[in-house]
Amino acid sequence: MTTAYIVDLDPVTERYHRSTNASRRQLSIRDNGSGTMAGQGADCSVGIPIISEVFNKMLEVVKKDGPRGLTFSMTPNYHEFNDSYGLPWFNHYFLQEFIPSQPEIKARLESGIRMLDVGCGRGAAMKMLAQSFPNSHFVGLDIDQCNVDWAYKDVATLGLKNLEYVCADASAMPNDWTSTFDYVFFFNLLHDTPRPDLIIDDVKRVMKKDGIMSVIELYAESKHADNLGDPNASFIYTDSLFYCLPMSNNHPGSMALGAMWGKDSIKKFLEGKGFKVKAVSTLPMMPQLHFLSELM
């Protein structure tokens, strides 16, 4: 609790007491070394009380006659935590290891393509790619206008004319996007959405026939028993229960996949939606799976 800035430790008396720092009482993620691998553990600790914020709401959700799930506005602090938790990987491994490990993706980016990041959050990944691959054009899509506004903050300062952000529903993207994208990227998004099937349907519309798609999801097996020895499983199941499942079950027809839907289910889902999974690999330094796919 001290390393997460929930409780203060007096180094002289070695006594613990409630934090007197207002910013720490608000569990500000930005003060924890966020964006570095060392800060990721603190970000994870901060996630515990943030997830707990919805505890009383979840007591209603799990009732037989309760609401279907949670809405986006019910978990405002979680979105900041989620972005911050993934940022160290993007800062230290995305360009340095992940892209070089995918020769087809790297070659396309170098030659000049249009890439779409579905659920881009605050847009960090697209800024990195736009700076590194000036021949390509990048579009970050997010359903939250606050994320889009945040993402645009330093685009002009960085001089990135090959980057744009759009606020829209991923299951109903602009009509003029049909057959315009060479590469579509998902990072931990599909399991959080009520209707990932409709999103994939629209992705198929906006992709070029020879386009490729990356789907990155949490590393898990589809059968619960096969996850018993996974040291990350208890945290991810808890995270999923308090955020992913209720967020993806908030209206009729929701699929409610959950963060731990697992490798076999992901592959089956993509193939069922008309994609050929070309390769499945693990991400460096993150418990994630990468599904590289193309249209059948």
pLDDT class of 28 with cuts at 50, 70, 90: very low
CB-facing half-sphere around the CA of 60: CA atoms within 13 A: 9
d(CA 115, CA 87) in angstroms, rounded, equals 20
Pairing of strands 181-187, 114-118: parallel
Please give the Cα distance from 237 to 227 (Å, whole number).
10
Q: Is 35-295 CATH 3.40.50.150?
A: yes
Please tell me the predicted confidence (pLDDT) of residue 27. Answer: 39
Residue 42 predicted with pLDDT over 80: no
Q: Residue 20: what pLDDT? A: 59
The predicted pLDDT at position 25 comes to 42
Nearest of 77, 270, 92 to residue 184 by alpha carbon: 270
Average pLDDT, rounded, for the chain: 86
Taking 80 as the threshold, does the pLDDT of residue 36 lie above it?
no
Tokens of 95: 């360009």
Note whether 222 and 263 are within 8 A (CB): yes
pLDDT band per the 50, 70, 90 thresholds, residue 55: confident
154/271 Cα distance (integer angstroms): 38
Asked if pLDDT for residue 30 goes beyond 60, the answer is no
Report the percent of the chain where pLDDT is more than 70. 86
Phi-psi region of 289 (alpha: psi -120 to 50; beta: other; left: phi over 0): beta
pTM above 0.85, yes or no: no
Angle of the 196-206 helix axis to the 263-272 helix axis, nearest 10: 50
| Secondary structure (DSSP) of 116-135 | EEET-TT-HHHHHHHHH-TT
**How far apart are alpha carbons 4 and 182 in whole angstroms?**
41
What pLDDT digit, counting tens, does each position of 156-185 carry?
A: 999 999 999 999 999 999 999 999 999 999
Whether the per-residue pLDDT at 264 is higher than 70: the answer is yes
Q: What is the dihedral of CA 160, 165, 171, 172, to 10 degrees?
A: -110
**Residue range 82-92: average pLDDT?**
82
pLDDT value at 148 more than 80? yes
Mean pLDDT over 82-93 rounds to 83
Give the pLDDT confidence of 95-146 residue by residue, as tens digits. Answer: 999 999 999 999 999 999 999 999 999 999 999 999 999 999 999 999 999 9
Q: Distance between alpha carbon 125 and the CA centroid of its chain, in Å?
A: 11
Polymer length of the chain: 296
Listed in sequence order, the residues at least 6 apart from 170 whose beta carbon sits closer than 8 Å to its beta carbon are 118, 119, 141, 143, 193, 199, 202, 203
Q: How would residue 29 be classed by pLDDT, with cut points 50, 70 and 90?
A: very low
